[in-house]
Amino acid sequence: MEGAAAAAAVVVVAAVAAERAVHGVTGLGGLGVGWRPEIAAWVADRPGLGFTEVIAEGLAPATPSRGVTELRERAAAVVVHGVRLNLGGVEPVEAARVSHLAACAAVLDSPLVSEHVSFVRANGHDAGHLLPLPRTREALDVLAANVARTRSELDAPLALEPIAALFDWPEDEFGEGEFLTRLLDRTGAWLLLDVANVHANARNRGVDPQAVLDSFPLDRVAYVHVAGGSEHDGDRGDAPGTYHDTHTDPVPAPVLELLGSVVDRLGYAPPVMLERDGRYPSGAELTGELAAIATASGLAPDVAR
């Protein structure tokens, strides 16, 4: 009796029977993971992965580490993800950083490069973190110019990731979805949709994440990030109930539900990856997280093996 009940209790989050889709432009498909040296062995042992993503600032393209070389030798694609390019900075993006990004993509034969709708440095001060931009026409001009400078050196297409923003600017002219749509229309870039960021931003503003997704240019999705986070209570000196997109916690259910909602809206399962930056759990737990992502996408869990 128990066995039958367990077999019947399959949670189908995606209402549409999701096909494992391959992106028409990038060729990316399936489940992926953010490669980190700390989990290199676990990643190497996942034959079912469709792709991996590496952080550009952690790479030395001329002398890649053994773990990175092994990634290149796999059949699965490797996406290069930058975190310090400063596309939203008033100063033009630094030529050396753009060249580095291009070199990483060349060495790894990447079908796609991604960066953030954000700034990290201003007036000689480094935030050490991705900070939100004002959603203004002026910011669109800045971003468009820097994206153009970056794309001129890249062979691969570029995807842009909207970030989890802990604050807003008083002079915002657009909502997040409209700003993003205008940005992608102007630049021709793709969307790296981070559903954990959508959750964090909606949660911290008390808005409905479904309304946010309604406004997003989902037709531009190149791939999807999924990550964990946690709420900080008032005792730790923060505003009570602020959700932090830490990347060092398990992926919470609401984020997986948002992923399912995205799959429903698209009618297919886009390339989707797990992003984890620290406090790494056991390999079994990471595999479990991947399986949960597969389930939420409507894919068979064995693609996470």
Partner 1 sequence: MLALTAGGPVPDGFDPVRMAVTRRALLRKRAGLAAVRWPVLRASHGERWNAVFAAHHDGRPSRGALADGFDVARALAADGALTSGALAELADHEALWHYDGSGEPRRRSAWSPHRLRHRLLRPRAR
Residues that bind partner 1 (CB under 8 A): 122-123, 125-129, 131, 166-171, 237-239, 242, 244, 278
Find the shortest distance in angstroms from Cβ 101 to partner 1.
22
Neighbours of 42 (CB within 10 A): 17
Strands 119-122 and 77-81 come out as: unpaired
Find the shortest distance in angstroms from Cβ 74 to partner 1.
28
Find the shortest distance in angstroms from Cβ 203 to partner 1.
13
148 vs 169, beta carbon nearer partner 1: 169
115 vs 245, beta carbon nearer partner 1: 245
User: Exposed, middle or buried, 70 (CB in 10 Å: 0-12/13-18/19+)?
Assistant: middle
107 vs 139, beta carbon nearer partner 1: 139
Neighbours of 233 (CB within 10 A): 12
Q: CA 2: distance to chain centroid?
A: 39
Q: How far is Cα 126 from Cα 129, in angstroms, rounded to an integer? A: 8
19 vs 171, beta carbon nearer partner 1: 171
Find the shortest distance in angstroms from Cβ 179 to partner 1.
18
129 vs 137, beta carbon nearer partner 1: 129
Find the shortest distance in angstroms from Cβ 153 to partner 1.
27
Find the shortest distance in angstroms from Cβ 275 to partner 1.
16
Q: CA 38: distance to chain centroid?
A: 19
66 vs 236, beta carbon nearer partner 1: 236
Q: How far is Cα 117 from Cα 139, in angstroms, rounded to an integer? A: 10
Residue ranges of alpha helices (H) inside 118-252 are 137-151, 176-187, 195-205, 209-215
Q: How far is Cα 218 from Cα 30, in angstroms, rounded to an integer? A: 18
Strands 272-275 and 221-227 come out as: parallel
Q: CA 252: distance to chain centroid?
A: 16
